[in-house]
């Protein structure tokens, strides 16, 4: 019986007032119980739904699932450590293992003095993947290597002057022609070339006549140097106290085209009557003959040339 019906019966005299109050109290109690029951059911349903999303009834979940499952914090950390170890192995494979890495006291990796042959070594930045193989070979085998043979010094001085207005690659391609034209750079033989022979050399080997004359005149001056100093080697290496200049350039654009040392050598050679020996040509010659080691410190040839300089 509802509250409205109870009040109506009481007004008609069909229900005592005390019974009406009792019925109304009972009705309110039933309503409260119903509301509370419905609320509890909703809460239980919500909890059941949340539980069902992550856990299944009757199954047990160990700590392994929380720490080892993909995407967990532990799994991500393991991936990071594995990546760091892989990177360290690559560095060691490229540079070699140093004492510091063996003792695990430092993560610094230093290159070996005699690294294993590398099919793709790091070279000076002026060499590119498109550089001519003859130029790459010259860089890897000769450039920066100390030279003490008079004939080779004469040859490198001639080639350094010949590449003015051209480039080293083109000059190196004609290196064999220069050797044939100038008697393997035997200075005493070159001084005896006649005007007719010089013209023939210029035509046959396509060498500018002014440069042919310059080589012959330089040969004459070299003979004079040998008489005064004993050898061309003693004269030239005397400018650097018979010890190669070792530089530590990190970037190619930092390598100068001339230095105060090349300027002083050039000035003395010009005074003695040499031709094609400007400061830039002389510095190029110094690099070629190993009087200075201008390989970048990142280049694979820097350390070997430094060792050759200390152990001639």
Report the interhelical angle of 209-229 vs 195-205 (nearest 10°).
120
Binding residue per annotation — 20?
no
Distance CA 108, CA 94 (A): 13
138: region left, alpha or beta (phi > 0 left; psi from -120 to 50 alpha): alpha
Residue 124, annotated as binding a ligand: yes
Please state the separation of Cα 38 from the chain's center in Å.
72
Radius of gyration of the chain from its Cα atoms, rounded to whole angstroms: 46
Binding residues: 124, 139, 295, 299
Binding residues for Zn(2+): 124, 139, 295, 299
């Amino acid at each position: 019986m509802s509250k409205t019906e109870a009040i109506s019966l009481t007004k008609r005299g069909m229900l005592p007032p005390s019974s009406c109050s009792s019925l109304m109290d009972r009705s309110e109690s039933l309503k409260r119980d119903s509301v509370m029951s419905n609320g509890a059911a909703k809460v239980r349903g919500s909890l059941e739904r949340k539980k069902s999303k992550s856990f299944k009834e009757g199954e047990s979940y160990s700590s392994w699932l929380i720490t080892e499952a993909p995407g967990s914090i532990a799994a991500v950390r393991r991936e990071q450590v594995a990546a760091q170890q892989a990177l360290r192995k690559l560095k060691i494979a490229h540079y070699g293992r140093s004492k510091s890495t063996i003792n695990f006291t430092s993560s610094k990796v230093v290159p070996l003095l005699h690294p294993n042959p590398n099919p793709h070594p790091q070279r000076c930045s002026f060499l590119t993947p498109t550089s001519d193989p003859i130029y790459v070979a010259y860089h890897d085998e000769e450039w920066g290597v100390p030279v003490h043979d008079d004939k080779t010094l004469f040859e490198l001085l001639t080639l350094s002057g010949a590449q003015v207005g051209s480039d080293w690659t083109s000059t190196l391609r004609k290196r064999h022609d220069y050797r044939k034209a100038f008697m393997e750079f035997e200075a005493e033989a070159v001084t005896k070339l006649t005007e007719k022979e010089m013209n023939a050399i210029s035509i046959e080997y396509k060498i500018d006549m002014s440069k042919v004359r310059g080589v012959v005149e330089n040969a004459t001056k070299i003979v004079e140097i040998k008489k005064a100093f004993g050898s061309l080697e003693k004269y030239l290496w005397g400018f650097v106290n018979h010890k190669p200049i070792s530089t530590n350039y990190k970037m190619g654009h930092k390598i100068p085209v001339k230095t105060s040392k090349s300027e002083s050598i050039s000035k003395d050679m010009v005074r003695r009557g040499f031709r094609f020996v400007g400061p830039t040509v002389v510095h190029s010659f110094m690099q070629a003959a190993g009087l200075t080691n201008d390989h970048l410190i990142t280049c694979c040839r820097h350390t070997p040339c430094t060792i050759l300089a200390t152990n001639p």
